[in-house]
Structure 1
Amino acid sequence: MTEEKNTLNEEVNETIETDENTVPTDTETEDSSTEVNEEISIEDQLKSTQEKAEELEAKLAEAENRYYRLQADFENSRRRARLDLEASEKYRAQSLISNLLPAMDNFERALQMEADTEQAKSILQGMEMVYRGLLEALKNEGAEQIEAVGKEFDPHIHQAIMQVEVEGFDSNHVVEEFQKGYILKDRVIRPSMVKVNQ
């Protein structure tokens, strides 16, 4: 029995010794907690770095959008400036033509007068030549008289000041023109003042 006790004691001592070897000491515990703290610290740094990267990407995307908007605005302003330049070139004579129209109206009224003497007839002939020369100059600049009498009424180029019922004209057609209208290329400078059939 004593032998068995001794053997048992020896086994227990061996077990205790092995357990002491496997149980971590204080320094081993500190090392492992330091490692855990370092891992947590690295994870925090990674998260912080990712957040900063996402923030920088958002700022970059915003800056790119702003750049593209500015570029589009610049292109639009260049296009507008080019169109304005083309329009000013195309309609450069508009103000001059507008200023000449009252003189053209006076010429037309003067040419409708009856001439009783030879001297009056020759003056009217000279006025008619000047009038035709002015019309030709206007045509060279792209301005033309608007056709009115007998044409269908168009509110874009005609200004109706009277409505009448006249036989021989279709409904909504111009019967008489009181003042000639003029158009410069595709822009109406002055609409024709007309009388329209109902």
Structure 2
Amino acid sequence: MDKEQEQAREEIADNDNQNASAQENEQELSPDELGNLLEDARNKADEHWEQVVRTRAEMDNLKKRHQRELENAHKYGLEKFVAELLGVWDSLEMGYNAALENHDVEKLLEGTELTLKMLGDAMNKFGVEQIDPEGQPFNPELHQAMGMVPTNDVPPNTVVQVVQKGYTLNGRLVRPAMVMVSQAGS
């Protein structure tokens, strides 16, 4: 019953509001007043239309700017990484030229070590980590078993040899380490 009474009260209130609006509209306005009201309404409509057009143009410009920025991010996203690797490339070229001219193995080994260190530093700077799991338990999420080696020296399922190191990029696997895994000896 309370709901029905509430609905009835709302209907009465709505009717009273409609009657009041009708009485206001019944008052006659002079043609000049009607013209002024019409002119004001047109001015407001024109003003709102200009705002809509301006807003639409701003949105289109914003969309185009974001599209350009996204294209540039894809196109030049590796710029810093490449710049870092250019030093490693230069070092490799110098080492190669030195090997052609000079056959001093000690100096070539020293240059190669420095180049590898430069490469490792560049990779670490950009979140590339090396996976070298020798002596660790086999982890199928980071390692790919190439074969099993029977041995009693280490517990079963332990990496005994790394055939190829693996790599992660910011914690995400890029390439698993290819490994040989221990198996209980017979």
TM-score by length of 2: 0.44
Query: Larger % of strand: which?
Result: 2
Instruction: From the CA coordinates, give the structure whose radius of gyration is larger.
Output: 1
